[in-house]
Structure 1
Amino acid sequence: MEDGEQNKELEVAPALIAVHPTQDSVAVAVGSDLRVFNLKTGCPVQLVDDTAEPFHRDSIRAVCYGSNGKLLVTAGDDKLVKIWHTDGWSCICTVLSEKRVSAVAISNDGLFISFADKFGVVWVVDLDGFHDHQSLASKKAVPILAHYCSIITSLEFSPDGRFIISADRDFKIRVTVFPKETSDGAHEIQSFCLGHTEFVSCLAFVWDSDNPDGLLVSGSGDSTVRLWDITSGSLLDTCEVGAEAGSQGFQLSNGKEDECCPAITDLCAIPICSLVAVVIQGLSGVVLLSCNLSDKTLSITQVISIKGEAFIPTSMGTSSSSDELWMVAGVSSLQGSNSNSLARVKAISGFIKMKPDSGEVVATVLEDKDIPGGMQLLEKLQGSAEIKEEVVLAAAETLKTAMRNLLIKKQYSVEKREFRKRGRNDRKTKH
């Protein structure tokens, strides 16, 4: 079997979760299915999509809310970027991408949506006048920068809106000045944040009232979380999260002795305190890092283990003011499963009770009945399919293989490279 066929079989997508900035709603994407629960009304959301390309037809790879909560954006393998208005939960615009979409970000002022594709190009949609649905329906995306054929894994706008930060599978983080006119492109590079030794998988900003510009944190396939000053590109601190979690006696599920560097698959800044929640590939739980913005340091504060069941998070989200960290574990199109997609939702609470003097966190995993929205929320976001432990573990292993195939560059012999060049289908016939 050829490599391409093998990769196609393993091309599954992780379940994703996003939380409204004031926790009015929670959205879960698994496969092509988008599920939303309204916590204000206590009811599932019925999505309405009357655009030319209704709903998603393939796996959703990115989902995020705008900072004011008025918009939700989803995008993925069907090359569609969908903009949903959270007032009526209707899709007000569908933008067609040239390639599959790998990351999405919304500017803090809500005026721009940026998305990246697997070819390494970053595009922007100007949302000026988005209250006029007819006007927004005709919006087009324009390219502003590129990473030259490297898959972009994460996008973030800086808190002040001056920069757009893009990370890729070639170990680098690029900080670019966001242009005043998007049609002119983003040609001014502020800095590169270099230091990771494997693909960069996720980005987030940590900030508080005393440090409104914040600092950037990044997770990587090298099992580290790093702290950056984006203005200069300086590496401020490195936390060996995988190694330190292992030294505390936490066993990684499906771990192998020769795999000493489990990838960081997601991280999430918790705004009510200077904490960063980190997901490690194969760890049934999350690692909490304390970020000291004054000293510019990172350190492990607590490892929260999920006990009683196999739960390996694939995505996290939180609001700007609530006490809950939401997590989802799941995968799309897992072979051998009775369901087309699997999702399990959990929440951690207690960050607001953090002891200010000692820095000790008393966060704990909530029981299903204690989660905001209760069992009705879980029924909507998870679906009704029963998830067995062996299926969850198989899903984690499948995702691990899929991520490595996607993000770790393959090494080919000279003969194999020449063979692949001859088989390329992008060569144009000249007349």
Structure 2
Amino acid sequence: MASDARVRTLELVRDLDEVQMFGPRLGTVNPPCWEIGHVAFFWEVFCLRQLGEEGALLPGGEELYDSFLVAHDDRWELALPDRAGTEAYMQRVLERVLGRLGARTTPRESYLYQLCTQHEDMHGEALAWTRQTHGYPTPPIEVTAAPAAAVPSPTEQEASSGNAAIPGGEFQLGAMPDEPFLFDNEKWAHPVAVAPFRMARTPVTNAQFADFVAEGGYDRDELWGYQGRLWRRRAAAEHPRYWRREGDAWLVRRFDRWLPLAPREPVIHVNWHEANAWCAWAGRRLPSEAEWELAAGAEPTPDGRGLSGRKRRYPWGDEPPTPARANTDMSAGGPVDVAAHPAGDSAFGCRQMLGNVWEWTASPFYPFPGFVLDEPYREYSAPWFGYHKVLRGGSWVARSRVLRNTYRNFALPDRGDIFAGFRTCARDEG
């Protein structure tokens, strides 16, 4: 896993020149030259040093790459190693890590290896949205998914439309003790009562969101909450950030290319405020994260009227993701039709609950009952509680090994640069 994560990290920057490796100073992204050094530093601190290795592989690394010591805006001013020096440091760390990997590892070693791998995977997704933010070229990563798999038949399109009726009941929200790896904010499964609800089988599409734009959704204050109105005015937003009108048609920017807006792909790069406003316009609502996880991971009783008590690791079961089940790992080169990947349906018929786009929920990011910080990465969750909104699922860029039904992503509600969309629930449960 460590080598694979490193290959992907370097693939995401290998074509960038020295100017692009810094990029303009923005509050939402890091300089790529800093980001790749940071992931190596994380391995050194949270793996090698935790396992007893002494002596810094990069003297003074804390003052360059410690994300809680070095302020975000200062990362453009640091005297970082040049590209060759950074990649040499990355290689030294990786070789030291691989040298420790044997046929057998202790549970502690396994946890640290997985922690650092998934941390690097997350920064890989951040590098991808940095490229999107700056309008850099499409990452030079091979598209391996068969194009035909992303083009559902008319029958599949029809079957995936509408709502799935999901029974209520007591549900165990959060991770079970048998998970091979998880983060502290997923701990632990605890009972929650969920009323019956109806959830859209697929995420909201570009065509559906375009109707909202066409009907003046961005100009109607009554559709937006107070914070949403403030964001909309500050951003002068009239449509999703990467859309552009050309004659009678919409184009969307994917990296450095303007493409015709694909009507049946999920709307992407919209923030929580935009998702919530669309719901107000459509008479829908965002799901809570408990509803989302139930729809993804629970199973019905044989009569379909209740919950069986069994919980799946993934929407389709306990087998790992494959290209047939989910659009992840950048394997398709972009988002796909919302009716694609029927093999990945949940027990209730909800499609693409992992992959394609992250999905905003209505829930603020708070700890579960009995929350305890995980060592050694104490800063993963706790600093962000209360300020962020929960996203579930995963995107077409996310590494599949990171994703599971209990994984809790989180972001500020005005973040529209990430690979996020949303699905909705009906308001008429009562």
Identify whether the pair has TM-score above 0.5, normalized to the shorter chain. Answer: no
Q: What TM-score, normalized to structure 2?
A: 0.25
Q: Which has the higher helix share?
A: 2
Structure possessing the higher relative contact order (Cα contacts under 8 Å, 6 or more residues apart): 2
Structure with greater strand share of residues: 1
TM (normalized to structure 1)?
A: 0.25
